[in-house]
Structure formats: C-alpha cells, structure tokens
Amino acid sequence: MKRITLITGGSRGIGAATAKLSAKAGHAVAVNYITNADKAEALVGAIRNAGGIAMSVQADTGDEAQVERMFDAVTTELGPISGLVNNAGVHGPRGRLEDLTNDEIQAVLRTNVLGCFLCARAAVKRMSTKHGGSGGVIVNVSSGSAHLGAPNDGILYAASKGAVNSLTIGLSQEVARDGIRVNTVAPGLTETDMPSKEALEQMGPQLPSGRVGQPEEIGEAIIWLLSDAASYVNGANLRVSGGRI
C-alpha cells in the first residue's frame, strides 16, 4: 500500500523530524504549517532533493473549513491519505491558572483539542472502510504533562493533552473495525522551540536519562506506530521520555 502521511505542525520540531523520517521510510508526506511557510517549503525541498515525495499545506488545524480544505488538497496532490500525525500544538502561557485569561484558555484548547478532533474526524471520514476508504493510522501527539498536571506552569496545556489521551482511548476502539488504528505518543522534554532554553538546560540533567530528547527520537516512535510493524498496536500511549514517568 502506498503510504501518504499528513503531519500537522510539520514545519518545525517533532513534526519536521517526523516528516523527514516518514519520507525516508517511503511515505509521501504532507507538511502542514500555520505561519512558517519558509520552513515548511525548505523541508519539502530537502525531502524532494533526497528523492522523496512531499508537499506543504497551510492550515490552522483549529479551523474546520481550513482542515477540510487541507485534507482535500493533500488527497488531490498525493492521493488518499493513509496516515495522520496529529502533532500541531501550542503550550500557551506559563504560570498559574488564576492568571489565565478566557482568550488564552480558548486559544490552547482550540489548537490542542479542537484541532486534533477536527483532523481526526477528517481522517476517519476518508480512511474508514465504512466510508469506502482503505483504512489507515492516526498518531496523536500528547505529552507526559497529561498525567503530571504541570502545576504552576501549564495546567491548561496538561489538561489539553489529557483530552488528546482520551481521544485516542475512545477513537481507537470506535474505528478498530473500520481498518484504522489510533495511538498516542507522549513525548518527554524535547529540544524544540516549545520549551524555553532555560527549561531545557535546567531539566535535562535532572531527568532519568540525564538529558532531554531530540525530535528525531520522538519521530522514530511515531514512524513505528504508523508502520505495519505495529499492526496489533491500537489504543496505546507510548511514552518517549528517557525514563520520566
């Protein structure tokens, strides 16, 4: 089966690393971004130069019309989507809950929760054998914060990732007989633009592994879950954190 994989938030960090690894594994890759067209285009260029198939696609994953347009554009250019990596995410403000504004709360939930739901729904509608599709795989990128809770730093972010975990648990069972597997990858602290430089420097040595993760180390887990090697893995939450619980 030809693998056609859409990676939301593929322009940077974990998504970009996953896009490169997917292309190396033979997938045709759609690299979604919201604002960083240059980075997405550079990544697509690098994949093409290495002999791979890739396209970039702009869309805000928290916008229903843009999500549907993105899935249609990828299907038209690359073919029927067989894999979705629900990776686009934002951390939002750091600090205590009582300092959050209504708009800040809505912005994080919009990308991290609504965005994952809209993309998962769009994928299921196209992949499900009940809707004439050929099946597929969804990998939701969550975070260990979901069970750590992140007090004083990011309860909002943590709670949004708790929703992502529940999405995987329910959807994996709902669509198992539609030919679709759904799993979660829960990264630990990973060197991308999301954590502050100070957090990366201070926390790294305190982790069981003694260091933070690299985006490629998360991407490898995602690629495995997308592959047939994980054909009986469904509803799992794979923590990739260098030993942090």
| Under rule CB under 6 A, residue 136 binds ligand NAP | no
β-strand partners of 45: none
Closest Cα partner for 18 from 185, 215, 202?
215
Q: Which single residue is written with the structure tokens 């991290």?
A: 112
Select from 42, 46, 90, 169 the one that contacts ligand NAP (CB under 6 A).
Answer: 90
In the complex with ligand NAP, the residue whose CB is nearer, 28 or 31, is 31
User: What is the C-alpha separation between 146 and 55, in angstroms, rounded?
Assistant: 32
Q: Minimum CB separation from ligand NAP for residue 89, in Å?
A: 2
Q: What is the crossing angle of helices 64-78 and 115-127, to 10°?
A: 40
Residues 169, 220 contacting (CB under 8 angstroms) = no
In the complex with ligand NAP, the residue whose CB is nearer, 128 or 145, is 145
| Under rule CB under 6 A, residue 140 binds ligand NAP | no
User: What is the C-alpha separation between 43 and 12, in angstroms, rounded?
Assistant: 9
| Under rule CB under 6 A, residue 46 binds ligand NAP | no
| Under rule CB under 6 A, residue 141 binds ligand NAP | yes
Q: Which position among 157, 188, 215, 219 bears the catalytic label? A: 157
| Under rule CB under 6 A, residue 154 binds ligand NAP | no
In this chain, which stretch among 3-11, 22-30, 118-126, 167-175 interacts with ligand NAP, using CB under 6 A?
3-11
Pattern 193-212, ligand NAP, x by CB under 6 A = xxx-----------------
Q: Name the residue type at position 156.
A: L
In the complex with ligand NAP, the residue whose CB is nearer, 184 or 234, is 184
* Beta-carbon count within 10 A of 129 CB: 14
Active site residue 232: no
Residues 189, 199 contacting (CB under 8 angstroms) = yes
In the complex with ligand NAP, the residue whose CB is nearer, 151 or 177, is 151
User: What is the C-alpha separation between 29 and 160, in angstroms, rounded?
Assistant: 26
Which residues carry out catalysis? 157
